Chain A
């Protein structure tokens, strides 16, 4: 469905120090620098897959999505989406894809979302009957109710995002690019959005690429993740495998019925945190059963959980390792 090979996007950026002197000097002579937003990444995505793009700010995730949706021309490389060259922006291609950006909206600001829905129906040439049915489904699933008849500017952020998603799906795109779709939403609204996105993927078989800084979004939606850092691919595979690779240790959460010494815990594994009634340990996979037996035998344990390390920590460690590797490479 999506194939990306050797993709590069470089921007030429005007560099100017602050201050009046620099402002005047820039009138006569300008210094430019090349920013390598995306620097040679390759991956393939099968139809119906849900893939999460992870990376720190400025990693190149959004730039990649903009290239895939035809907004940006790549500097180099070959990109195909369902057989189309995105930058050619053919009508057939644009009718198959949609990019939803959490920080940009397509809803008409001063008019109710219903007007944008109708506009999209006309522009995407959706038959009336199909439009009515799709809108009914979207209204029900996203609990839009009367929101669609209020001016967009009077909607809350969460309400607006629900309508934004509905507007994006009026033409039932086969490929959906979601760039931070839950940004700024409260926890319950994030869950509504996640459930809806997953359901859309399962019911329509649409291919889905998601970027989000909320790891819960990625964990809930994306069995596969692609990690991009400084424009380069640093991981492509399953989320579970990523966790196993970066943090193979397990987290053991002990709920304690009485006080324990830190030294007692350190003999079981690395102490992540210790507070009244609760301790969190990091234990290698191989020594897990032994550590659990010893904990149950020697400590006042009332309850325990075994978990993977939080995804935020896994990703953060992956980025640190990538940076360290690059710095070492640069020094060599």
Chain B
């Protein structure tokens, strides 16, 4: 579909996506409960920090970090790979392919349509942050907030493009869910979701810098907790968007090639 046509269809796609998000509100609530891991990690790390700070992290720093991790996870996570696997295996993708709109746009909008519900979910951590920490750790400049906004958007886009790459592999492998599980396991370890990347041993940290994981969660968290100066933050955001472009192009190539293999099961 042309860019103009796609843009014109966006409001209807958002409306339908939001209506579906509301229809699945019980499921959404259960999913939110399953994303409270950063709060569990805060309890564990704050117990460790009670004896002595870990690096520069004391109790307040860990609280800010893991509240930020919870918020960023809500803003960046999506499930396009699962959706794609399901639709390829069930043949449901056929119905999307019949429409003059690339299915990738539909999956992106459906994920984004859940955002209003997710913004509601992040209200409690934001209130907790303001009540306990006040404005501490938050960016103090417009540039700081701007870089956080870019970093959060980049985080979402990176997670989405990786999802598209992995999801598209289901057109070649029949199912790529195990690959997605492996990606998620690596994300939990290397993204900064459970442990701040800063606390990794130096050699491991050097490797993590060259992997996409930390740019999905760790970087937006570091930007929200004002961990970097403006120049360094801008450099890291540029690297993050570079990864987005890389996975975007890879996803496009895989999709174009993979769709030739689609077997449109059923019917």
Contacts and interface: CB of A to CB of B under 8 A. Distances in A.
Interface of A: 11, 62, 66, 69-73, 87, 89, 91, 94-95, 97-99, 101, 103-106, 108, 110-111, 115-116, 118-125, 151, 179
Contacts of B12: 118-119, 121-123
Interface stretch (B18-26, B201-209, B242-250): B18-26
Contacts of A151: 23
B262 interface: yes
A94 B16 contact: no
A299 B122 CA distance: 89
A111 B24 CA distance: 11
Given A95-B100, A104-B91, A122-B13, A62 B267 contact: yes
Interface in B96-117: 97-101
Nearest to B263: A11
A108 B262 contact: no
B13 A119 contact: yes
A154 B175 CA distance: 31
A104 B9 CA distance: 23
A91 B262 contact: no
Contacts of B2: 91
Contact of B94 (A73, A104, A115, A125): A104
27 contacts: A66-B94, A71-B94, A71-B262, A72-B263, A73-B260, A89-B97, A91-B1, A95-B100, A98-B98, A101-B94, A101-B266, A103-B266, A103-B267, A104-B94, A108-B20, A110-B20, A110-B23, A111-B19, A115-B16, A116-B16, A118-B12, A119-B12, A122-B9, A123-B9, A123-B13, A123-B100, A125-B8
Contacts of A73: 260
Contacts of A103: 266-267
B134 interface: no
B264 interface: yes
Interface string B24-56: 100000000000000000000000000000000
A122 B98 contact: no
Most buried by A among B1, B23, B92, B267: B267
Nearest to B96: A106
Nearest to B90: A104
Given A66-B267, A71-B264, A106 B98 contact: yes
Given A66-B267, A99-B98, A104-B92, 13 more contacts: A66-B264, A70-B98, A87-B260, A91-B100, A97-B98, A104-B94, A104-B267, A111-B19, A119-B13, A124-B100, A125-B8, A125-B9, A179-B267
A108 B17 CA distance: 10
Interface residues on B, range: 20 to 34
Most buried by B among A71, A115, A151, A179: A71
B11 interface: yes
B143 to A, nearest CB: 37
Interface string B82-100: 0000000001101101111
A125 B5 contact: yes
A122 B20 contact: no
B95 A123 contact: no
B83 to A, nearest CB: 14
Contacts of A99: 94, 98
B94 A94 contact: no
Contacts of B19: 111, 115
Most buried by B among A69, A123, A179: A123
B23 A106 contact: no
